[in-house]
Amino acid sequence: MPDRSKEELARALEELAGGQFAEAGPQARPAVPRSVRPTQPSSSASSRPATPQLARPATPHAQPPADDDAVIVPPPPLSAFLHYRSGRTAGRLGLTLRRTFIPVLLTCGVILFVLGALPRCLPVDNPLSQMPHWLSFILWGAGAFVLAMAAVNMLAVKHLLQSPAQGRPR
């Protein structure tokens, strides 16, 4: 069985070589050029390793193509590089983004209210109770602003979902 696969490999190599070694017979091996044969180590120790010599090319007159990096395909139109979205996709992206911001705005608004009320709820010996009163009013104002933005955003999402052009998201 192994001999059979060797014979098949030999025929395949023979076909690739273009019948160059066909006249020698199926069992004969092609002669390896002398420059490619491995060198036998000499008995004298050499300080530098032997440099391998390169083998001859299969066809002696083979020249590399002159324009091997030339592109034969025409360039794509400039519109292929432009990124655009259809109105329907852009509307859905806006809706998704608005729906994502609703819980973030609600959470931040509540946290700002709690931070503003924290100095009033803590005991007197706590360092946070020494926070100036004007800072509490600023935190409450910022919390009210963020909660108002969340309410406006919720109304906008409700309006977008009820509009017939938008339709229901999947």
Helices (H), the chain: 2-16, 87-121, 133-162
- pLDDT at residue 38 tops 60: no
> Residue 124: in which H helix or E strand, if any?
none
Q: What's the length of the chain?
A: 170
pLDDT-derived band at 153, boundaries 50, 70, 90 = very high
- pLDDT at residue 115 tops 70: yes
Of the chain, the percentage scoring pLDDT greater than 70 comes to: 58
Asked if residue 109 lies in contact with residue 143, where contact means CB atoms within 8 angstroms, the answer is: yes
Here the tokens at position 82 are 């432009």
User: Using one digit for the tens of pLDDT, what is the confidence trace for 44-89?
Assistant: 555 555 666 665 556 666 666 666 677 778 888 888 888 776 666 6
**Where is pLDDT greater, at 49 or 130?**
130
**Where is pLDDT greater, at 120 or 45?**
120
pLDDT-derived band at 95, boundaries 50, 70, 90 = confident
Give the pLDDT score at 48.
Answer: 57
Q: What are the backbone angles phi and psi of residue 36, rounded to the nearest 5°?
A: -95, -20
Distance in angstroms (rounded) separating the CA atoms of residues 105 and 99: 10
Residue identified by tokens 């859905």 is 92
Q: Where are the domains of the chain?
A: 91-162
- Please give the mean pLDDT across all residues of the chain: 76
Nearest CA to 137 among 152, 154, 162, 120? 120
